[in-house]
């Protein structure tokens, strides 16, 4: 007979992350789609825009965040669809754990996939556009922007996964809600890439931090209601 103890929040969160990573590294369905898609987006921009060196610098943040946002949506949709397809979302929700732990587990794994895509895109973009992207400030913006995007994206994906039109519904719901995070991320990234004064960079950076905190708190409070019928 099994010996059971109440599973802690952290143990449950880590169990979800471990499960997601193991399944993904085995199937590579989600990551390969995200990586190929991001590569195509930056290649299309590269050939379509035909920019000189100065112009390249000015569009870099926009192109990067467009790539991250579209690839991220692809990943968010797939990551929740995997839970829904064999009824696994019910399996997760039946576990005697705080449901916020399930949400944070999904956020961490989605964030891990997003970071992998970003780590893939940055050097390729730097090589193709001949732009130096290895600026600590830019990496901080990518970290904060990805957290914000994934936090709200995972919450909305867990809502839309119930719908038949989930593939279409997620971007329609997500992009309007993620506008503040995307605009702030583009503005702060451009600031760091152009070597702007910190006084100019702080407002979008602060907005990113506040957005991350607010949506983490909102998701913590509402996830249980979002997934329950």
Restricting to residues 64-93, name those near other proteins by CB under 8 A.
Answer: 82, 86-88, 90-93
Please pick, from the candidates 9, 10, 11, 194, the single residue that binds other proteins as defined by CB under 8 A.
11
Rounded to whole angstroms, the Cα distance separating 31 from 86 reads: 20
Distance CA 211, CA 152 (A): 10
Phi then psi for residue 156, to 5 deg, are -70, -35
Query: For residues 4 and 52, which CB has a smaller minimum distance to other proteins in the complex?
Result: 4
Nearer to other proteins, 116 or 143 (CB): 116
Does residue 17 bind other proteins (CB under 8 A)? no
Task: Please say whether the beta carbons of 57 and 193 come within 8 A.
Answer: yes
Measure Cα distances from 106 to 49, 61, 65, 70 in Å: 36, 27, 22, 18
When binding is defined by CB under 8 A, the residue of 48, 52, 54, 96 that contacts other proteins is 96
The minimum distance between CB 34 and other proteins, in angstroms, equals 16
CB closer to other proteins out of 11 and 135: 11
- If the CB atoms of residues 92 and 193 are measured against other proteins, the closer one turns out to be 92
CA Rg value for the chain: 19
In the complex with other proteins, the residue whose CB is nearer, 64 or 92, is 92
Asked if 189 and 64 count as a contact pair (C-beta separation under 8 A), the reply is yes
Q: Does 164 bind other proteins (CB under 8 A)?
A: no
Q: How far apart are CA 154 and CA 152, in angstroms?
A: 6
Instruction: Name which of 149, 62, 66, 140 is nearest 113 in CA terms.
Output: 149
Does position 135 bind other proteins by CB under 8 A?
A: no
Q: Please report, as ranges, the residues that interact with other proteins according to CB under 8 A.
A: 1-7, 11-12, 15, 18-19, 22-24, 26-27, 82, 86-88, 90-98, 228-229
């Amino acid at each position: 007979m099994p010996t059971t103890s109440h599973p802690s929040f952290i143990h449950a969160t880590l169990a979800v992350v471990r499960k997601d990573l193991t399944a993904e590294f085995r199937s590579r369905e989600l990551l390969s789609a995200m990586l190929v898609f991001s590569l195509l987006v930056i290649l299309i921009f590269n050939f379509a825009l035909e920019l000189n060196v100065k112009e390249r610098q000015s569009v870099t943040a926009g192109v990067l965040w467009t790539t991250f946002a579209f690839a991220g949506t692809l990943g968010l949709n797939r990551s929740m669809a995997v839970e829904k397809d064999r009824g696994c979302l019910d399996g997760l929700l039946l576990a005697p754990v705080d449901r916020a732990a399930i949400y944070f587990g999904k956020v961490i794994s989605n964030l891990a996939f997003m970071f992998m895509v970003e780590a893939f895109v940055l050097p390729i973009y730097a090589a193709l556009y001949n732009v130096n992207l290895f600026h600590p400030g830019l990496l901080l913006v990518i970290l904060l922007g990805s957290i914000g995007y994934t936090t709200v994206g995972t919450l909305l994906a867990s809502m839309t996964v119930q719908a038949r039109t989930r593939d279409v519904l997620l971007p329609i719901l997500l992009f309007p809600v993620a506008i503040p995070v995307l605009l702030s991320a583009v503005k702060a990234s451009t600031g760091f890439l152009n070597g702007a004064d910190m006084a100019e960079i702080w407002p979008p950076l602060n907005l990113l931090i506040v957005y991350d905190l607010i949506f983490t708190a909102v998701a913590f409070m509402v996830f249980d209601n979002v997934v329950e019928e």
